[in-house]
Amino acid sequence: MGTSHPRHERAATPHAGGDLTGHQRVQKVLAARVAVDGRPATLGDKADPRQSVITVDGERIPTNPDLVYWLLNKPRDVVTTADDPQGRPTVVELVPAHPRVYPVGRLDRDTEGLLLLTNDGELAHRLAHPSFEVPKTYVARVRGVPSKARLGQLTTGVELNDGQARAVSARVTGTSNEEALVEVSVVDGRKREVRRLLGAVDLRVQRLARVRLGPLELGTIAQGKFRPLTSQEVGALYAAVGLDRQQGGHPR
């Protein structure tokens, strides 16, 4: 694309992986950032959360059953699951192993961007369930430049193989040559929903990244990196789904 990329596109740009396998790339990230009792972490490491000192970028993280919230910029070719029977790299391998956390919702293997991982079960349920109507916003790079009429079809509604679906909003945020960046927000969270919505109006997706989850923004965090949510961000998520933070969540 040209110079019209939004700032989110920079955060969604993959790093060169060279000849490393997915697991080797994950291991490289862990060894550089995560330490258990002062030693670089490796895949498969186990630690007693009541006794071990676990640090990320030199900062100690809670090692008791307290609630934790990680914002991850998920790379492509990493699966959104806690365990993969095929042995592919998973998103939970990119964050500290203790306390145990789970991804909120799902990003397809070939979709990148914002993913929240937490052990706050009630918050995770509400953020993922369509009845709470939390918008998930994506930026898609597509072939061609869609007209306003075509984007209007997305918000009016299109027929998919599992029923009627529509976007909350859809707009072009940048163009270059024969491509465009299209920002699409949805609340349903169906499987590959954004790709299928765009495909239904003859827009071929070349790349897709999630940039927002409700009030939470991806920002400029690099791909494959993660950070803890701030207290303000956690509070905003609680407010978005009608939870009283004073009552507190419960570890999953």
CA distance 156 to 169: 10
CB of 78 closer than 8 Å to CB of 22: yes
Q: Which residue spans within the chain are E strands per DSSP?
A: 34-36, 39-40, 54-56, 59-60, 69-74, 102-103, 112-118, 136-143, 158-160, 163-165, 169-176, 179-186, 205-213, 216-217, 226-228
CA distance 184 to 39: 43
CB of 101 closer than 8 Å to CB of 228: no
Choose the catalytic residue: 45, 77, 84, 108. 108
Name the residue with tokens 């490491």: 45
- Give 221: exposed, middle or buried? Use CB within 10 Å, 0-12, 13-18, 19+: middle
120 is catalytic: no
Catalytically active residues, by annotation = 108
